Structure 1
Amino acid sequence: MPDTFRNHLNVFASALTLREQRGEMLASNIANAATPGFKARDVDFQSVLNGRLGHGPMTVSNARHFAHAGPGADQPGYRVPTNPSLDGNTVELAVEQMEFAENSLRYQTSLTLLNRRISGLTTAIKGE
């Protein structure tokens, strides 16, 4: 039972941590919007989360096997701009602001879901 409980909450904890890291990366992109030569970075949230949770195309069937999420799945990539600037900066402020707002909303949603899950478990434990 404790492993199931831990695994159940691990999804939310991993999602919150990853959302926080992505938010910092997007904030850095916004802060460097006027820096010549700066390359905007981002991460594919779903593939990184799947890699951290052990889901994906390769699964481990034995405790002695190594879990592998694929080459560089945990590494951020560079965003390809729609309208590249002349100074080599790939930050598109409107795109970054939209991604930052969406990431913040999803962070709050994940936090709300985690709080509801914990309060539901607390209610079940108390027998109310």
Structure 2
Amino acid sequence: MALSMDKLMGIQQHTLGVRTQRAELIANNIANADTPGYKAKGLDFQQALQQAQRGMENHKMARTHEQHFSVEVKPQGTEKFRTPSQPDTGDGNTVDVQLEQNLYAQNALEYEMTMNFLDGRISGVKKALGGQGR
């Protein structure tokens, strides 16, 4: 019987990639908290997960020459501007640092939970392949 990594990892492998993308967006928002005119971005998690499951997480364009740049095209529609939760301070920046920090902490916990789940699945398969657990 062949071992399918998709069946072994399930949706969790895609979830991990989307949580990574979400962490990058939130960190970018925090880094630009004092940038005038910067608009906070969020991630439509369900849409990003569906696209990742269909294999559309990142598209890489083929390089036809070794001196060409590597280009990645992100799928459309997963990143969205966040609705401001605080009044405009006059500089056009919509980042709420406390909200972003809370979202980052929540995402970090969810990322760790996903990693723990995958670790458990992999440990179970290693035991089964090694004949342990009898």
TM-score category, normalised to shorter length: 0.7 to 0.9
Query: Which is richer in helix?
Result: 1
SS, match of residue 42 in structure 1: strand
C-alpha separation in 1, matches of 2:85 and 2:6: 42
1:16 aligns with 2:40: no
Unaligned runs of 5+ in 2: 55-74
Match of 2:123 among 81, 105, 119: 119
Q: Which residue of 2 aligns with 1:58?
A: none
1:97-116 alignment runs, 5 A limit: 97-116=101-120
Q: Which residue of 2 aligns with 1:77?
A: 80
Taking structure 1 as the reference length, the TM-score comes to 0.77
C-alpha separation in 2, matches of 1:121 and 1:106: 23
SS, match of residue 128 in structure 2: helix
C-alpha separation in 2, matches of 1:32 and 1:10: 35
Instruction: Give the RMSD, CA atoms, in angstroms.
Output: 1.9
Aligned residue identity for 1:40 = A
C-alpha separation in 1, matches of 2:26 and 2:97: 10
Deviation at 1:2, TM superposition (A): 3.8
Q: Which residue of 1 aligns with 2:44?
A: 44
Unaligned runs of 5+ in 1: 55-70
Deviations 1:36-81 (A, max 9, x none): 1000011111221123214xxxxxxxxxxxxxxxx944x3000001
Percent identical among aligned pairs is 39
Aligned residue pair count: 111
Taking structure 2 as the reference length, the TM-score comes to 0.74
C-alpha separation in 1, matches of 2:40 and 2:123: 39
